[in-house]
Amino acid sequence: LLAAGGMLESDLSNAVTLLKNLQEQVMAVTAQVQALTKKVQAGAYPTEKGLSFLEVKDQLLLMYLMDLSHLILDKASGGSLRGHAAVLRLVEIRTVLEKLRPLDQKLKYQIDKLVKTAVTGSLSENDPLRFKPHPSNMMSKLSSEDEEEGEAEDGHSEASGKKSVKGVAKKYVPPRLVPVHYDETEAEQEKKLLERAKRRALSSSVIRELKEQYSDAPEEIRDARHPHVTRQSQEDQHRINYEESMMVRLSVSKREKGRRKRAHVMSSQLHSLTHFSDISALTGGTARLDEDQNPIKRKKIPKKGRKKKGFRRRR
**From CA 176, how far away is CA 33, in angstroms rounded?**
95
Rule CB under 8 A: which residues touch other proteins? 243-245, 247-249
98 vs 244 by CB, closer to other proteins? 244
Q: Which is nearer to other proteins, 252 or 287 (CB)?
A: 252
Minimum distance of other proteins from residue 215's CB (angstroms) = 42
Residues 6 or more apart from 157 whose CB is under 8 A from it? Answer: 150, 151
Based on CB atoms, which residue is closest to other proteins, 1 or 247?
247
Long-range contacts of 241-244 (CB under 8 A, 24+ apart): 242/311
Nearest distance in Å: CB 247, other proteins: 5
Q: How far is the CB of 273 from other proteins (least distance, A)?
A: 21
Cβ burial of 236 (10 Å; 0-12, 13-18, 19+) is: middle
Q: How far is the CB of 267 from other proteins (least distance, A)?
A: 13
Task: Determine how many CB atoms are found less than 10 A away from the CB of residue 57.
Answer: 17
Q: Kindly tell me which of 44 and 247 has the beta carbon lying closer to other proteins.
A: 247
Nearer to other proteins, 167 or 258 (CB): 258
Residue nearer to other proteins on the CB measure, 267 or 277 = 267
3-state SS of 49-96 is CCCHHHHHHHHHHHHHHHHHHHHHHHHHCCCCCCCCHHHHHHHHHHHH
Q: How far is the CB of 312 from other proteins (least distance, A)?
A: 20
Task: Kindly write down the DSSP assignment for every residue of 176-220, as one continuous string.
Answer: --S-------HHHHHHHHHHHHHHHHHTSHHHHHHHHHH--SPPP
Q: What Cα–Cα distance (Å) separates residue 236 from each residue in 103, 194, 233, 263? A: 46, 31, 5, 11
The CB-of-229 to other proteins minimum distance in angstroms stands at 19
Nearest 5°: CA angle at 255, between 254 and 260? 95
- Find out whether 277 and 206 touch, Cβ atoms under 8 Å: yes
- Contact assessment for residue 177 and residue 183, using Cβ atoms and an 8 Å cutoff: no
Please report how close the Cβ of residue 239 comes to other proteins at its closest, in angstroms.
12
Judge residue 108's burial from the number of C-beta atoms within 10 Å of its C-beta, 0-12 exposed, 13-18 middle, 19 or more buried. Answer: exposed
Q: In angstroms, what is the minimal distance from the CB of 98 to other proteins?
A: 30
How many residues belong to the chain?
A: 315
Which CB sits closer to other proteins, 118 or 248?
A: 248
Whichever of 168 and 248 has its CB closer to other proteins, that residue is 248
